[in-house]
């Protein structure tokens, strides 16, 4: 599949990394005397890329037509070089150049084609699929601009475009793989010779999808899977050519730009749906290109259509790819001539749908007029799907008239809306949530009626996980090495449950010391990074308290910063002697706010202003520092996650579907302060409740408390009132800047900031106490690490494979 001219170019530096100076010089077209870190990165990346290609080709040739397809609008991959080196097993090669490997790796820009948890989960799953030898492809969009780069200017977030493609050695354009995608147009009906009605969607605008492939290497296996990203281009039809020649240059160029706009930029919203037409275009463009690709490959196998679901499993990462359901139905009925029921049976057995949120504002709906305009045939098909579905519901529940309007895929509002989650449920054979509590919640709240209709078995849980290759071995090589020294090798990177064997060392003096030294070194690394980037000196011996994730009211960074202010006021009220006795702390925040999310931006501003005041208060010194790390992303997380003593996962109970950074922090030897939400609950069950700091109201009580707020007003906690008074006094700059933040608590407190405040502060006090006893603390952290085996993404993939995809691994024959 690789074009010939590329093959010859690559031959020059294949097989062994660059063994000699000439290889390197030809690869980069520059002399070694002129080699800086950027050049060293370029050369190393190209050399390792070549190693991957060989296995990649072998893998793709050996795979039969059976495999799984993962449709995700987001893949938050981070850097590739370190991972490529780990998987090829030759991390040392590049040292010859005389650079520190860390610096060379550090040159690479993140592939940041995602917002947060959902996109990173897709990336971890690709790593596990390849590492476990599952034949699987990812399908996504090749955004020219990934998630924006965040700068903090005068304490405010400023968004800078992320143009990441100027040197990307990890992608391969497949000039021969293109798909023409139609938008708009009309539907023509006619009866064929057998009197069967046929629908033709025609006269639309055509945009071409170009494939770019990214190799996904597995760890300790030659299996190298494929991530295919689609890029939009104007269709090079004669029409445009004519326009150009007849002097309509401007129109011709304008059409081109319009087409390229589709894959131009990632929507920077996390857990928020805004129903923009361009977003719907992105979704259809990518679904249609991917399905065309999948169907084309299946047809090469010459198998009967009924075999389709046995050969192919398509997993929908949230509702973003739900248009793939009517699109496959359209292909089967309109293009391939299957009857409706046969086609529908194939569709349902092919798709699985993963839900990542219960929050109303994140549940996708598209207006009927918009779909009508953009995808007229799909709207007809969606209506037909709904008709069949509602007829079934009516037959099954003849007495429940309300049921029909509650579960209808079409919401009878003005304008009418298509409920994408309902379409995804109806069009899939399995629906899963991403942690036990979350999977229970969807069954009892937003999808309750569907459980009645389809039964319990259609709904299942697959608790999220993370790849231990990136999140333990790469991010924390020293800890990985220490564990390997006790376990007699690195097998745990592929079977994370083996970690349980280090429980035996929780009381071992030497092991504890080594473990503690590693944590201290990781904290020092982060302290150096903070010094370089913010100019603030933090003491690595202080307790590092970290909350890094997208900024969102439901994640409650406001609770954290109010708690920090509370602590600051308490410190100010103490005598110098008393203050000296307090456990020194560094409160670290990081995360991006969606550009249109005003409240989230206020939170960022408050954190920065509190930092400015606290960090410059000579009375406070090391007792408290407040840091905001700019532009939090995957590669920064690799420095941050190993450096925590405590990390914060404090969402209002019932709102965070799972969380995955909670897993990263514990796996790296930090403890959690958290609510009974998402995967925190299962983490507690695995590591023991004595090794986690839980607080706050439970999910089952949240509704009642909100109700109470509405009817009786919000009760503001005394401690929180003092914090608000300090903010209103202008202590952190003009208080108008923060009034939105305090008012929402006073008016509704939808996120229970006040209701949970006291418990939150008390829990932090008990953390201070616990941290004083370093031996006991080490005992807890070592046990916690030892018990994290369950949270590997490898376990997730095995569960999906067995419960949803019904597939087995396919090992490559070595030297085959």
Binding site for ligand 26M (CB under 6 A): 115-118, 121, 267, 269-271, 273-274, 279, 356-357, 362, 364, 434, 464, 656-660, 678
CB 364 → ligand 26M: shortest distance, Å?
Answer: 6
CB 702 → ligand 26M: shortest distance, Å?
Answer: 16
CB 110 → ligand 26M: shortest distance, Å?
Answer: 17
Of 708, 705, 676, 704, the C-alpha closest to 692 is 676
Nearer to ligand 26M, 252 or 357 (CB): 357
The closest residue (CB) to ligand 26M is 117
Helix (H) or strand (E) holding 663: helix 661-667
Q: Are 747 and 674 in contact (CB under 8 A)?
A: no
Residue 353 CA to residue 318 CA, distance in Å, equals 7
Catalytic residue among 70, 243, 330, 356: 356
Q: Measure Cα distances from 230 to 172, 209, 262, 812 in Å.
A: 12, 6, 10, 27
CB 267 → ligand 26M: shortest distance, Å?
Answer: 4
Contacts of 570 (CB under 8 A, 6+ apart): none
Nearer to ligand 26M, 87 or 658 (CB): 658
DSSP string, 135-154: -EEEEEE--SB-SPEEEEET
Q: Are 503 and 722 in contact (CB under 8 A)?
A: no
Active site residue 660: yes
Nearer to ligand 26M, 116 or 309 (CB): 116
- Helices 477-487 and 509-534, axial angle in degrees (round to 10): 170
Q: How far from each other are the two terminal CA atoms of the chain, in whole angstroms?
A: 19
DSSP 410: E
Q: Are 232 and 260 in contact (CB under 8 A)?
A: yes
Q: Are 611 and 626 in contact (CB under 8 A)?
A: yes
Catalytic residue among 664, 764, 787, 795: 664
Sign for the pseudo-dihedral over CA of 270, 763, 767, 437: negative
CB 793 → ligand 26M: shortest distance, Å?
Answer: 11
Helix (H) or strand (E) holding 545: strand 543-548
Q: Measure Cα distances from 183 to 142, 207, 336, 416, 739 in Å.
A: 19, 8, 20, 21, 45
Nearer to ligand 26M, 366 or 771 (CB): 366
Active site residue 320: no
Nearer to ligand 26M, 349 or 660 (CB): 660
The helix/strand/coil state of 172 is strand
Question: 351-354 and 430-433: which strand pairing?
Answer: parallel
DSSP 104: H
Nearer to ligand 26M, 282 or 329 (CB): 282
Nearer to ligand 26M, 221 or 464 (CB): 464
Question: 417-419 and 410-411: which strand pairing?
Answer: antiparallel
Nearer to ligand 26M, 27 or 269 (CB): 269
Tokens (6 digits) for 73: 């609008």
Nearer to ligand 26M, 208 or 271 (CB): 271
List, in sequence order, every residue forming a beta bridge with 314; answer none if it has no partner.
Answer: 69, 351
Question: 136-141 and 224-234: which strand pairing?
Answer: parallel
Tokens (6 digits) for 565: 């202010």
CB 614 → ligand 26M: shortest distance, Å?
Answer: 30
Catalytic residue among 555, 592, 780, 787: 555
In three state form, how does the secondary structure of 194-246 look?
CCCEEEEEECCEEEEEEEEEEEEECCCCCCEEEEEEEEEEECCCHHHHHHHHC
Torsion, CA 643, CA 646, CA 648, CA 650, rounded to 10? 160
Active site residue 550: yes
Residue 294 CA to residue 68 CA, distance in Å, equals 10
Nearer to ligand 26M, 146 or 611 (CB): 146
Tokens (6 digits) for 162: 């992320």
Place of tokens 């090079």: 236
Residue 432 CA to residue 355 CA, distance in Å, equals 6
CB 698 → ligand 26M: shortest distance, Å?
Answer: 17
137: left (phi over 0), alpha (psi -120 to 50) or beta: beta
Phi, psi (rounded to 5 degrees) for 51 = -65, -40
Active site residue 261: no
Active site residue 513: no
* Rg, the chain, Cα only: 27
Contacts of 461 (CB under 8 A, 6+ apart): 432, 433, 434, 435, 436, 438, 439, 440
CB 116 → ligand 26M: shortest distance, Å?
Answer: 5
CB 321 → ligand 26M: shortest distance, Å?
Answer: 12
Active site residue 416: no
CB 118 → ligand 26M: shortest distance, Å?
Answer: 3
Nearer to ligand 26M, 463 or 744 (CB): 463
Nearer to ligand 26M, 433 or 563 (CB): 433
List, in sequence order, every residue forming a beta bridge with 209; answer none if it has no partner.
Answer: 179, 232
Contacts of 625 (CB under 8 A, 6+ apart): 536, 538, 539, 542, 585, 586, 587, 611, 614, 615
Residue 165 CA to residue 783 CA, distance in Å, equals 43
Catalytic residue among 149, 473, 549, 780: 549
CB 423 → ligand 26M: shortest distance, Å?
Answer: 15
Nearer to ligand 26M, 108 or 273 (CB): 273
Q: Are 100 and 147 in contact (CB under 8 A)?
A: no
User: Which residues are known to be catalytic?
Assistant: 356, 549-550, 555, 660, 664
């Amino acid at each position: 599949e690789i074009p010939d001219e590329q093959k010859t170019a690559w031959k020059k530096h294949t097989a062994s990394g660059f063994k000699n100076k000439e290889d390197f010089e030809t690869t980069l077209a520059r002399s070694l005397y002129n080699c800086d870190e950027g050049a060293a990165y370029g050369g190393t990346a190209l050399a390792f890329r070549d190693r991957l290609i060989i296995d990649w080709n072998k893998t793709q040739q050996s795979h039969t037509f059976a495999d799984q397809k993962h449709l995700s609008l987001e893949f938050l991959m981070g850097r590739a070089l370190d991972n490529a080196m780990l998987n090829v097993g030759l991390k040392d090669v590049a040292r010859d150049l005389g650079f520190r490997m860390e610096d060379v790796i550090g040159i690479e820009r993140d592939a940041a084609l995602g917002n947060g948890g959902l996109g990173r989960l897709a990336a971890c799953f690709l790593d596990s699929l390849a590492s476990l030898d599952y034949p699987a492809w990812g399908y996504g969009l090749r955004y020219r601009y990934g998630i924006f780069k965040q700068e903090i200017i005068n304490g405010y977030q400023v968004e800078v475009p992320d143009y990441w493609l100027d040197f990307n050695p990890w992608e391969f354009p497949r000039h021969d793989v293109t798909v023409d995608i139609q938008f708009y147009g009309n539907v023509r009906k006619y009866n064929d010779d057998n009197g069967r009605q046929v629908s033709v969607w025609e006269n639309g605008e055509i945009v071409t999808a170009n494939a770019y492939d990214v190799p996904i290497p597995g760890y300790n296996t030659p299996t190298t899977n494929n991530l295919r990203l689609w890029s939009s281009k104007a269709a090079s039809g004669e029409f445009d050519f004519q326009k150009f020649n007849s002097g309509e240059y401007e129109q011709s160029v304008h059409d081109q730009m319009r087409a390229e706009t589709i894959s131009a930029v990632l929507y920077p919203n996390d857990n928020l749906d805004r129903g923009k037409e361009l977003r719907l275009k992105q979704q259809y463009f990518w679904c249609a290109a991917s399905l065309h690709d999948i169907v084309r490959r299946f047809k090469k196998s010459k198998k009967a259509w009924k075999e389709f679901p046995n050969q192919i499993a398509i997993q929908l990462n949230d509702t973003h790819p739900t248009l793939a359901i009517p699109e496959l139905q359209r292909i089967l009925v309109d293009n391939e001539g299957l009857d409706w029921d046969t086609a529908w049976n194939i569709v349902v057995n092919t798709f699985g749908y993963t839900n990542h949120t219960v929050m109303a504002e994140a549940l996708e709906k598209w207006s009927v007029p918009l779909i009508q305009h953009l995808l007229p045939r799909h709207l007809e098909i969606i209506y037909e799907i709904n008709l069949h579905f509602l007829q079934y519901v009516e037959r099954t529940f003849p007495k429940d008239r309300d049921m029909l309007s509650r579960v209808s895929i079409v919401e009878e509002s003005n304008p009418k809306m298509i409920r994408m989650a309902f379409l995804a449920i109806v069009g899939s054979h399995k629906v899963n949530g991403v942690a036990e509590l979350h999977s229970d919640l969807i069954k009892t709240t937003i999808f309750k009626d569907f459980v009645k209709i389809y039964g319990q078995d259609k709904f299942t849980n697959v608790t999220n996980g993370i790849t231990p290759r990136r999140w333990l071995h790469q991010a924390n090589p020293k800890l990985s090495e220490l564990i390997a020294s006790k376990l007699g090798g690195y097998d745990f990177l592929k079977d994370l449950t083996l970690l349980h064997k280090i429980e035996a060392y929780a009381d071992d003096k030497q092991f504890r010391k080594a473990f503690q030294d590693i944590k201290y070194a990781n904290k020092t690394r982060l302290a150096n990074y903070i010094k370089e980037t913010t100019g603030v000196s933090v003491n690595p011996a202080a307790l590092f308290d970290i909350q890094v994730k997208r900024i969102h009211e439901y994640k409650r960074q406001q609770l954290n910063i109010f708690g920090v202010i509370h602590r600051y006021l308490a410190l100010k009220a103490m005598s110098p002697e008393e203050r000296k006795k307090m456990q020194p702390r560094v409160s670290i925040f990081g995360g991006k706010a969606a550009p249109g999310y005003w409240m989230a931006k206020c939170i960022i501003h408050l954190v920065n202003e509190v930092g400015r005041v606290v960090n410059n208060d000579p009375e406070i010194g090391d007792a408290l520092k407040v840091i905001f790390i700019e532009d939090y992303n995957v590669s920064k997380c690799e420095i941050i996650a190993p450096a925590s003593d405590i990390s914060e996962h404090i969402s209002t109970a019932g709102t965070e579907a799972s969380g995955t950074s909670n897993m990263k922090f514990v796996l790296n030897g930090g403890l959690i302060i958290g609510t009974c939400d998402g995967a925190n609950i299962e983490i507690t069950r695995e590591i023991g409740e004595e090794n986690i700091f839980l607080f706050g109201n439970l999910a089952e009580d949240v509704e009642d408390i909100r109700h109470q707020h509405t009817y009786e007003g919000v009760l503001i906690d005394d401690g929180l009132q003092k914090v608000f008074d300090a903010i209103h006094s202008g202590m952190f700059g003009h208080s108008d800047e923060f009034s939105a933040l305090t008012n929402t608590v006073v008016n509704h407190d939808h996120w229970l900031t006040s209701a949970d405040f006291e418990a939150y502060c008390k829990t932090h006090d008990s953390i201070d106490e616990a941290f004083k006893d370093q031996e006991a603390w080490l005992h807890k952290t070592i046990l916690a690490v030892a018990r994290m085996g369950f949270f590997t993404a490898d376990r997730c993939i095995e569960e999906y494979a067995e419960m949803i995809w019904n597939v087995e691994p396919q090992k490559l024959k070595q030297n085959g």
